[in-house]
Amino acid sequence: MTTASNTLNQYENIIHSCRDLYLKKAADYGTSWRVLRPVSIVDQIYIKAWRIRQIQENTVQLIEDSVESEFIGIVNYGIIALIQQQLGADEQIDLSVEEARTYYDLHANAVKELMLKKNHDYGEAWRAMSQASFVDLILVKLLRIRQIIANDGRVQVSEGADANFADIVNYALFALIRIGEERNN
């Protein structure tokens, strides 16, 4: 039986790995992602989630990039989306690696706090979910965000784009936890 403390440890190990890749790419490329508009970030995540779904359905993979690496990309683009929402398009494009780290940590911690609250209330129900369900839920959230963008960010009774991006990050992290568990069994 997995306890909440085990989940937190797994979660933190994986987010640390995602953060490490994000920072290495920030050192290599700078923060070129700052030019991405919200819909472009949605599309980047969509491409990754759709590729995972195609691999799941076709069971044939022709490109070497792993499903695991696609989920890591979803985590990082989800956090980038949250950073972009905070900074907006009018701010400076070039962030130092230290600034990129600070913003990443701020949003990763907020997403983790959300996970802990939901995990408490839902009793880790995600552990009974399939990887296919995580991908489908990510795709649903992306379609919701596209509609929110089309509505100029206005919602009547629904959560905004930020809550949907946070859920996407958590679904991808749950999938990564499950992938790690399967690899270790």
**DSSP assigned state of 32:** G
Query: Structural domain boundaries of the chain?
Result: 4-184
Closest CA to 184 of 4, 41, 6: 6
- Token code pair at residue 142: 């992306």
Residue type, 143: L
Write the pLDDT tens digit of every residue in 147-182: 999 999 889 999 999 999 999 999 999 999 999 999
Q: What is the pLDDT of residue 90?
A: 67
pTM over cut 0.85: yes
Write the pLDDT tens digit of every residue in 48-95: 999 999 999 997 788 889 999 999 999 999 999 999 999 987 668 899
> Is residue 94 a contact partner of residue 29, using CB atoms and an 8 Å limit?
no
Residue type, 107: H
SS3 92: coil
